Amino acid sequence: MEIVADLPLAWHVKPDAAKLQGSNRSQSSNDETKFVEKSFGSSSGLPAFDSKPLEEDIFDRLVELRTEVARLSMHLSVPFRDCLYRQLDRLLDAEFWEDESARPKRSSFETFLRFVIKADVSVAPALGVSPSETILASWRSGDRVFSVEYFEDNQALGYLMKQTLRGTEAVTWRGHVADLVQFVERFLGGDIIRNGKEARSK
């Protein structure tokens, strides 16, 4: 996301011509310099913005998401948790970072974890990150495919596909992740996310 800020109004205002004479011109110039230094800490004429190095920003995001997994580890099996750790390490590896890579939003990852817990997921999905920094998860079993994009506030967009005697059936679904659990169970069967097991009662 690119944020473009307007320059301060004072930068667009030309001093009155009558004041640009002799000592007044020097005084006006000094006043403008002091204004810039006070506002931005520099007299270069350009705002100074603080920014983290890319590697540090990537590492901080990885720590945030790993912490979320650890916080909810009581609801996750050890193999499932470890698989999430490995996939997060892969998604947020600064050594192999590319220009089109994106850092997943914490709010999106939290929605993904809520779905995992609500649906009693035991099959680890393949994880990815969209250009808009949302978590993508995909499960596949035979000719059935279940892919989801997770947004903030427990919202999700799901794509479900299966082969039938009439051919390929595919549907898209959008709404609260709690409702998505019931939808995938009806359309594909819950075993696609649970290794053939029934969901635990909540």
Closest CA to 139 of 124, 129, 128: 124
Instruction: Report the distance separating Cα 142 and Cα 3, nearest Å.
Output: 44
Note the pLDDT tens digit of each residue in 17-51: 444 445 454 555 555 544 444 444 444 444 444 56
User: What is the total count of domains within the chain?
Assistant: 1
Residue 1 lies in a domain: no
Residue 122 lies in a domain: yes
Residue 44 lies in a domain: no
Segment holding 150, helix H or strand E = strand 144-150
Residue 70 lies in a domain: yes
Instruction: Report the distance separating Cα 138 and Cα 148, nearest Å.
Output: 6
Instruction: Report the distance separating Cα 54 and Cα 187, nearest Å.
Output: 42
Mean pLDDT for the stretch of residues 80-85:
96
Residue 177 lies in a domain: yes
Burial track 7-39 (b if 16+ CB lie within 10 A, e otherwise): eeeeeeeeeeeeeeeeeeeeeeeeebeeebeee
Q: Which residue has the tokens 């979320």?
A: 68
Residue 38 lies in a domain: no
Side chain identity at residue 95, one-letter code:
E
Instruction: Give the pLDDT band (50/70/90) at residue 195.
Output: confident
- Between 78 and 1, where is the model more confident? 78
Lowest mean pLDDT among 28-37, 56-65, 134-143, 167-176: 28-37
Asked whether 173 and 182 are in contact (CB, 8 A), the reply is no
Q: Angle, nearest 10°, between helix axes 54-71 and 106-118?
A: 20
Would the pTM of this model clear 0.85, i.e. be above it? no
Residue 37 lies in a domain: no
- Domain residues for the domain of 157 are 54-194
Residue 69 lies in a domain: yes
Q: What tokens appear for 182 in the block?
A: 């019931």
Note the pLDDT tens digit of each residue in 89-109: 999 998 888 888 899 999 999
The sheet with strand 155-164 has its strands ordered as 126-129, 135-141, 144-150, 155-164, 167-176
**Residue 127 pLDDT exceeds 50:** yes
Burial track 140-177 (b if 16+ CB lie within 10 A, e otherwise): ebeebbbbbbbbeebbbbbebbbeeeeeeeeeeeeeeb
